[in-house]
A = this chain, B = another copy of it.
Amino acid sequence: MAVSEPVRALLTSFDARQPAALARAVSIVENHRPGFDELLAALHPRLGRSRRIGLTGPPGAGKSTLSTGLTAAYRAAGLTVGVVAVDPTSPFTGGALLGDRIRMESVALDPGVFIRSMATRGSLGGLAATTREVADVLDGFGFDRIIIETVGVGQSELDIARMADTSVVALVPESGDSIQTLKAGLMEIADIFVINKADRPGADRLKHEVELMLGLRMGHAFRSIPAHHGVELRTTNPARMARKAAETEADHWTPPVLPTVGVKGEGIHDLIGAIDRHFAYLERTGELRARRRQRLRERVVEVVEDRVRARLWRDDMTNAWIEERLPELESGALTPFAAADALLERSGDLLTRGRT
Give A contacts to B, CB under 8 Å.
Answer: 1, 37, 40-41, 44-47, 57-58, 88-95, 97-98, 120, 122, 127, 152-156, 158, 175, 178, 180-183, 185-186, 230-231, 236, 289, 292-293, 296-297, 299-305, 307-309, 312-313, 322-323, 325-326, 329-330, 332-333, 335-341, 343-349, 351-353
Q: Contact between B345 and A353 (Cβ–Cβ < 8 Å)?
A: yes
- B94, B127, B180, B307: the one contacting A231 at CB < 8 Å is B94
B-chain residues with CB within 8 Å of residue A183 when the two chains form the complex: 90-92, 94
User: Interface residues of A: mostly helix, strand, loop or mixed?
Assistant: helix
B-chain residues with CB within 8 Å of residue A97 when the two chains form the complex: 230
Beyond A230-B97, A337-B303, whether A156 also contacts B153 by CB under 8 A is: no
- Give the shortest distance, in Å, between A239 (CB) and chain B (any CB): 14
Q: Contact between B339 and A347 (Cβ–Cβ < 8 Å)?
A: no
What would 8 A/B residue contacts be, using CB atoms closer than 8 Å? A44-B337, A91-B183, A91-B185, A154-B156, A292-B330, A293-B330, A296-B336, A307-B341
Complex CA gap A336/B1 in Å reads 12
- B45, B92, B186, B308: the one contacting A186 at CB < 8 Å is B92
Complex CA gap A332/B347 in Å reads 32
Q: Contact between A330 and B296 (Cβ–Cβ < 8 Å)?
A: yes
Q: Contact between B351 and A349 (Cβ–Cβ < 8 Å)?
A: no
- B98, B300, B337, B348: the one contacting A352 at CB < 8 Å is B348
Question: Top 8 closest A-B pairs, CB basis?
Answer: A45-B332, A154-B154, A303-B340, A91-B186, A94-B181, A58-B92, A41-B335, A299-B336
Q: Contact between B340 and A120 (Cβ–Cβ < 8 Å)?
A: no
- B90, B98, B335: the one contacting A154 at CB < 8 Å is B90
Q: Contact between B309 and A297 (Cβ–Cβ < 8 Å)?
A: no
Beyond A296-B330, A303-B336, A344-B308, whether A92 also contacts B153 by CB under 8 A is: yes
Copies in the complex: 2
Q: Contact between A309 and B300 (Cβ–Cβ < 8 Å)?
A: no
B-chain residues with CB within 8 Å of residue A90 when the two chains form the complex: 58, 152-154, 183
B-chain residues with CB within 8 Å of residue A158 when the two chains form the complex: 91
B-chain residues with CB within 8 Å of residue A153 when the two chains form the complex: 88-90, 92-93, 153-154
- Give the shortest distance, in Å, between A336 (CB) and chain B (any CB): 4
B-chain residues with CB within 8 Å of residue A340 when the two chains form the complex: 300, 303-304, 307
Complex CA gap A182/B97 in Å reads 13
Name the residue among A296, A332, A336 with the largest chain B CB count within 10 angstroms: A336
B-chain residues with CB within 8 Å of residue A352 when the two chains form the complex: 344-348, 351
B-chain residues with CB within 8 Å of residue A37 when the two chains form the complex: 337
B-chain residues with CB within 8 Å of residue A346 when the two chains form the complex: 352
Complex CA gap A162/B289 in Å reads 42
Q: Contact between B304 and A95 (Cβ–Cβ < 8 Å)?
A: no
Q: Contact between B303 and A182 (Cβ–Cβ < 8 Å)?
A: no
Name the residue among A41, A120, A183, A325 with the largest chain B CB count within 10 angstroms: A183
Complex CA gap A312/B306 in Å reads 13
B-chain residues with CB within 8 Å of residue A312 when the two chains form the complex: 304
From A57, which residue of chain B is reached at the shortest CB distance?
B92
From A56, which residue of chain B is reached at the shortest CB distance?
B91
Q: Contact between B91 and A182 (Cβ–Cβ < 8 Å)?
A: yes
B-chain residues with CB within 8 Å of residue A186 when the two chains form the complex: 91-92
B-chain residues with CB within 8 Å of residue A230 when the two chains form the complex: 94, 97-98
Complex CA gap A347/B304 in Å reads 11
